[in-house]
């Protein structure tokens, strides 16, 4: 699988790169970023995937996330994909919360979205295979995290693939798309009106249906304007408690939905993942 290097910069004793490749799943070119800490020749490092939120690309966390020092300290590769397919031939929507920049990490089944909006298959299958071919990753040691829509993606991806991911965390995730306007718009638009088919893309529903991970960590700001209507963190806390799913859900006083919040707790999340990935 071909890979083009868009940029490569020295940072924190490692290399921050941006890469582009043709995707069979989305039918478009896709861009993603990878930070690789310095390491011994031949070494394979654990990997932490980061899924971004609505309107974002790989660049938001790469430029604002402040993860590199912690990743260099713990010897963890950090990979940030884009949030959706892009290009002139890709359908779009007038709203920021649907279409380009809002792939919701699902495989769309409704037209005109089904041809290109296959972010689940891209994240779960195609991109990991490409990364394994081109980077010094130990695919037996994978963790996943994300923010907002990407927090939804991280939680649901890990819950569907518990044998693949040793650790999962999230910043201000959409915990139940079945019960919020963003989720209802996205899942209805991409998948159709059968709400039963939405459950595999809803962290609370997956836990209710028996999915489990060893542990999960969530940080949520109390001053987040999306908390009550869209993110609905108490639903996840209740689902985990009812199912006996281990979870650390921290309400961080005064923090909002921005990267000021994410960057404050990013090093803690990297360290939390590293402890599990290096065990």
pLDDT digits (tens, 9 = 90+) for 91-133: 999 899 999 999 999 999 999 999 999 999 999 999 999 999 9
From the list 23, 33, 52, 148, the catalytic residue is 148
Give the sign of the dihedral formed by CA 86, CA 88, CA 91, CA 94. positive
pLDDT in tens, 69-82: 999 999 999 999 99
Q: What is the pLDDT of residue 1?
A: 75
Give the CA distances from residue 14 to residues 34, 43, 65, 271, in Å, rounded to whole numbers and listed in that order: 10, 14, 16, 17
Per-residue pLDDT, 279: 77
The predicted model gives 191-202 an average pLDDT of: 97
What mean pLDDT comes out for the span 222-248?
A: 98
Sequence-ordered list of residues with C-beta below 8 angstroms from that of 150, at least 6 positions apart, any chain: 50, 51, 52, 53, 56, 83, 105, 170, 173
Average pLDDT, the chain: 97
Beta bridge partners of 219: 171, 250
* Catalytic residue selected from 74, 147, 152, 257: 257
Mean pLDDT, rounded, for 192-201: 97
What six digits make up the tokens of 183?
């989720």
pLDDT confidence of residue 254: 98
Tokens coding 146 = 């994300």
> Distance between CA 59 and CA 80 in Å, rounded?
8
Q: Calculate the alpha carbon distances from 23 to 2, 27, 127, 149, 272 in Å.
A: 10, 5, 9, 22, 32
Paired tokens of 196: 């039963």
Whether domain 4-277 has CATH 3.90.1310.10? no
179 is catalytic: no
Catalytic residue flag (residue 269): no
Q: Which of 82, 97, 202, 224 is catalytic?
A: 224
* Closest by Cα among 2, 1, 16 to 63: 16
Instruction: Identify the helix (H) or strand (E) that includes residue 69.
Output: helix 68-74
- Average pLDDT over every residue of 174-178: 98
Cα–Cα distances in angstroms (integers) from residue 212 to residues 24, 81, 191, 240, in the given order: 30, 25, 24, 9
Percent of the residues in the chain that have a pLDDT greater than 90, as a whole number:
99
Question: Is the entire prediction scored with pTM above 0.75?
Answer: yes
Active-site residue, 148 included = yes
Question: How far is CA 153 from each of CA 5, 49, 102, 147, rounded to the nearest angstrom?
Answer: 26, 11, 11, 9
Q: Under 8 Å CB-to-CB from 75, ≥6 apart: which residues?
A: 37, 39, 45, 46, 274, 278
The tens digit of pLDDT for each residue in 1-52 reads 789 999 999 999 999 999 999 999 999 999 999 999 999 999 999 999 999 9
């Amino acid at each position: 699988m071909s890979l083009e290097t868009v940029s490569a910069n020295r940072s924190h004793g490692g290399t921050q790169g941006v890469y582009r490749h043709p995707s069979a799943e989305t039918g478009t070119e896709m861009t993603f970023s990878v930070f690789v800490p310095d390491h011994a020749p031949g070494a394979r490092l654990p990997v932490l995937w980061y899924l971004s939120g609505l309107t974002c690309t790989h660049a938001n966390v790469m430029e604002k996330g402040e993860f590199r020092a912690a990743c260099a300290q713990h010897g963890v590769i950090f990979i940030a994909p884009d949030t959706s397919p892009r290009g002139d031939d890709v359908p779009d929507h007038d709203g920021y919360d649907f279409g380009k920049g809002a792939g919701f990490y699902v495989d769309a089944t409704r037209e005109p979205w089904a041809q290109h909006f296959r972010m689940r298959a891209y994240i779960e299958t195609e991109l990991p295979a490409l990364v394994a071919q081109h980077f010094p990753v130990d695919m037996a040691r994978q963790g996943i995290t994300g923010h907002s829509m990407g927090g939804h993606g991280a939680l649901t991806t890990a819950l569907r693939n518990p044998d693949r991911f040793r650790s999962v965390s999230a910043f201000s995730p959409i915990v139940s798309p079945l019960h919020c306007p963003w989720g209802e718009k996205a899942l209805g638009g991409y998948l159709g009106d059968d709400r039963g088919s939405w459950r595999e893309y809803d962290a609370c529903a997956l836990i209710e249906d028996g999915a489990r991970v060893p542990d999960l960590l969530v940080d949520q700001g109390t001053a987040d304007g999306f908390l009550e209507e869209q993110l609905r963190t108490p639903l996840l806390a209740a689902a985990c408690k009812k199912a006996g799913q281990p979870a650390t859900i921290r309400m961080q006083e005064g923090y909002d939905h921005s990267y000021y919040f994410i960057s404050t707790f990013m090093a803690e999340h990297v360290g939390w993942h590293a402890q599990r990935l290096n065990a």
